Chains A and B, each alone.
Chain A
Amino acid sequence: MSETKTLNLVQAVTDGLNVAMEADDDVILLGEDIGKFGGVFRATAGLHERFGEERVIDTPLNEAGIIGSAIGMALYGLRPVPEIQFSDFIYPGFDHIVNELAKYRYRSGGQFPCPVTIRTPVGGGIRGGHYHSQSPEAYFIHTPGLKVVCPSSPRDAKGLLVSSIRNDDPVLFLEPKPIYRKAIGEVPVGDFEVPLGEARVVREGSDVTLIAWGAMVPLCEEAASRAASDGIECTILDPRTLWPLDIEAIVSSVEHTGRCVIVHEAPKTCGFGSEISALVQERCFLSLEAPITRVTGYDVPFPYTLEHAYLPSVARVLDAVETAVHF
């Protein structure tokens, strides 16, 4: 077994950036306060000193400029990794992501791939209010040409980030900031990749399949532990790569359990849970013992004071699990 070290999730991100930059001079970082300051969440701490200002670039506070510049750098032949300080601020760069980054390969007939990995923290529960808490994955999954990744453990954060950067497609790398420091685990030392497009079985059980990503994974783990004490065994599947989704892993699990509960922070309507639900229905209809259920944020703007009322809770997940089992 390879050597490991104990890291939290944000330290694992830093480690992944270090590894990718060390191995490939074309990998450069750009973003607001990511250089000398080391990033608002310290994800790039120490990289400016190590790799210099030409590879760890402090930019003006302009998200369209950051993402647009990254596209130009990728067209030149670099492998830029822009950071958007909070995903809530990604929208000024939305046109560049949806209309340019996602389409460059396609509209050029494959001549101009755009290997840009956009790192951005997502998720609520940190007293961040409307503009520091959102989970925008569905917008990007809905856009052909983008890959969307969201790790839930330090090991996956490092391995998936290195894979994303080395991938020739654009990647939205969504970092669950509520567990940046809560998620702690063993991470392989040195060069290490986790392949994109492969789900992780977090826990195995025969009664219900829970599908969750990011900060919802530890929440589901707690719910699954409590359900087990009542004799209900849950499988927890973390897709890790939200798109392209590991559909086979989901189908295999739901065919076995016959029940599927999807948990995410983003609002319910047209959230990614809707798509997963449709896919499961299309492929597992005859195996289903109960309706597919979604436990999600509500269809309201993300609130400040009532954020814990908004976010899925262990109790809401347990309720969905019990309803599915007793249907």
Chain B
Amino acid sequence: MSAVVEQPERDLLEVLVSMDLQLASLERLLTRLSASGTIGSYPEAGFARTAMVAAALALRPDDMLFGTARDVPAALAHGVPMEEILAQALGKGGDPGRGRGMPGAITNQRHGVSLTDGNIASHTVHASGFGQAAQIRGDGRVACALLGSGALANGEIHAAFNFAAIADARTIFIVRGEVADGIELEGTGEAWGLPIDVVRGDDGQAVYAAVRAARERAVAGEGPTLIDARLPEHPEPLDWQAHQARGGWSAEHHQGVLREIEAGLREARAAVEAGEDIRAASLFEDVFEDRPWFLAPNRGHEVNS
């Protein structure tokens, strides 16, 4: 099972609704497993799912997506298969990151995704550097960094915005989630030399359009954009009924989609759980390109399997 639709332009609202249903199901599962102690802490995205998914859908597949462990919905929308997301969260062998990150801290080179459970804003500086490299090389790729309101208070943000602006980095910064600490962004862009686009975070189509425009700007060498896609005080959930009212799908179809999603998730989970465990010996791998003498077998580093 992979991202729901390959061509979001065909009917963006339908894609957004479908993915939201799928992700709601996934988040319920992971939250349940987290609460039961089966997996580590999983940070739910909640209403921010809409902006995360819309942003990722607006990117090109070879663009690089940076975010935090809360941005799993964006990873799915950027192409990371559901099986790999589940394997990561469950710490199973199918995780390309080999079980090294907490649930949600997905690294997936094949799909250009790096989500962190580290410092809340360090990844924004990496996105700036990636975008600066893309500007130097001019190959059409961009970097996108998703961040929460709380990250705006972190000093890394100043470094990221400052470096990106002066380098015309091909980077899109997207603030998603709730407005925290009363931090407003309007009017601050001038200080950093960043244009700011403010959209409702619960309006997937508006977020998608803003990211598309920012992407075009970036690729044209016109520099980074900051998109404030935070949620209004009373966010509106993505409503399949609104989609229905626009001639989308019927109630019957909706129930069918739900059944398909639940079945798909059960199937994916079963496949992941039946897969290989992370090998104990892998503890000592990937520290360096080659294993130095102090990590070699028989150096007092044996572990229980």
The reply to whether A111 and B122 form a contact with Cβ atoms under 8 Å apart is: no
Report A87-133 residues with CB < 8 Å from chain B CB.
95-96, 99-100, 105-113
Partner of A112 from B95, B107, B128, B133 at Cβ < 8 Å = B107
Residues in B neighbouring A167, C-beta threshold 8 A: 289
Partner of A65 from B133, B162, B289 at Cβ < 8 Å = B162
Residues in B neighbouring A112, C-beta threshold 8 A: 107, 109, 114
Residues in A neighbouring B101, C-beta threshold 8 A: 107
Q: Is A69 an interface residue (CB 8 A)?
A: yes
The reply to whether A107 and B287 form a contact with Cβ atoms under 8 Å apart is: no
Of the candidate stretches B44-52, B153-161, B224-232, B250-258, the one touching chain A is: B153-161
The reply to whether A109 and B96 form a contact with Cβ atoms under 8 Å apart is: yes
Q: Is B200 an interface residue (CB 8 A)?
A: no
The reply to whether A76 and B292 form a contact with Cβ atoms under 8 Å apart is: no
Partner of A69 from B128, B137, B292 at Cβ < 8 Å = B128
Chain A nearest CB from B223 CB (Å) reads 15
The reply to whether B292 and A99 form a contact with Cβ atoms under 8 Å apart is: no
Chain B nearest CB from A280 CB (Å) reads 14
The reply to whether A76 and B134 form a contact with Cβ atoms under 8 Å apart is: yes
Residues in B neighbouring A145, C-beta threshold 8 A: 287-288
Q: Is A28 an interface residue (CB 8 A)?
A: yes
Q: Is A147 an interface residue (CB 8 A)?
A: yes
Residues in B neighbouring A108, C-beta threshold 8 A: 96-97, 100, 107, 109, 114, 286
Q: Is B212 an interface residue (CB 8 A)?
A: no
Alpha-carbon distance A62/B167, docked complex (angstroms): 14
Also in contact, A76 and B162, with CB within 8 A (given A64-B156, A95-B119, A111-B107): no
Alpha-carbon distance A71/B128, docked complex (angstroms): 10
The reply to whether A64 and B125 form a contact with Cβ atoms under 8 Å apart is: yes
Number of A residues with CB within 8 Å of any CB on chain B: 43
The reply to whether A244 and B292 form a contact with Cβ atoms under 8 Å apart is: yes
Residues in A neighbouring B155, C-beta threshold 8 A: 64
| Nearest opposing residue in chain B for A244, CB measure | B292
The reply to whether B163 and A62 form a contact with Cβ atoms under 8 Å apart is: yes
Alpha-carbon distance A68/B109, docked complex (angstroms): 19
Also in contact, A72 and B127, with CB within 8 A (given A111-B107, A111-B108): yes
Residues in B neighbouring A74, C-beta threshold 8 A: 129
The reply to whether A70 and B129 form a contact with Cβ atoms under 8 Å apart is: yes
Report A51-87 residues with CB < 8 Å from chain B CB.
54, 57, 59-60, 62, 64-65, 68-78, 80
Chain A nearest CB from B154 CB (Å) reads 10
Partner of B64 from A28, A70, A75, A78 at Cβ < 8 Å = A75
The reply to whether A111 and B109 form a contact with Cβ atoms under 8 Å apart is: yes
Report B108-147 residues with CB < 8 Å from chain A CB.
108-109, 114, 118-119, 122, 125-134, 136-137, 141, 143
| Nearest opposing residue in chain A for B110, CB measure | A111
The reply to whether A99 and B119 form a contact with Cβ atoms under 8 Å apart is: yes
The reply to whether B130 and A106 form a contact with Cβ atoms under 8 Å apart is: no
Q: Is A144 an interface residue (CB 8 A)?
A: yes
Alpha-carbon distance A59/B132, docked complex (angstroms): 12
The reply to whether A54 and B114 form a contact with Cβ atoms under 8 Å apart is: no
The reply to whether A247 and B126 form a contact with Cβ atoms under 8 Å apart is: no
Residues in B neighbouring A70, C-beta threshold 8 A: 129
Q: Is B215 an interface residue (CB 8 A)?
A: no
Alpha-carbon distance A71/B119, docked complex (angstroms): 15
Q: Is B270 an interface residue (CB 8 A)?
A: no
Alpha-carbon distance A283/B133, docked complex (angstroms): 46
| Nearest opposing residue in chain A for B290, CB measure | A169
Partner of B100 from A95, A107, A113 at Cβ < 8 Å = A107
The reply to whether B126 and A72 form a contact with Cβ atoms under 8 Å apart is: yes
Also in contact, A106 and B132, with CB within 8 A (given A71-B126, A75-B64, A100-B122): no
Chain A nearest CB from B40 CB (Å) reads 14
The 6 residue pairs across chains A and B that have the minimum distance between CB atoms: A72-B129, A68-B125, A109-B98, A69-B129, A65-B159, A108-B107
Q: Would you list 15 pairs from A and B whose C-beta atoms are within 8 A, ordered by A residue?
A: A28-B136, A54-B136, A68-B128, A71-B125, A73-B130, A75-B129, A96-B125, A105-B289, A107-B101, A108-B286, A109-B97, A109-B98, A110-B285, A168-B289, A169-B288
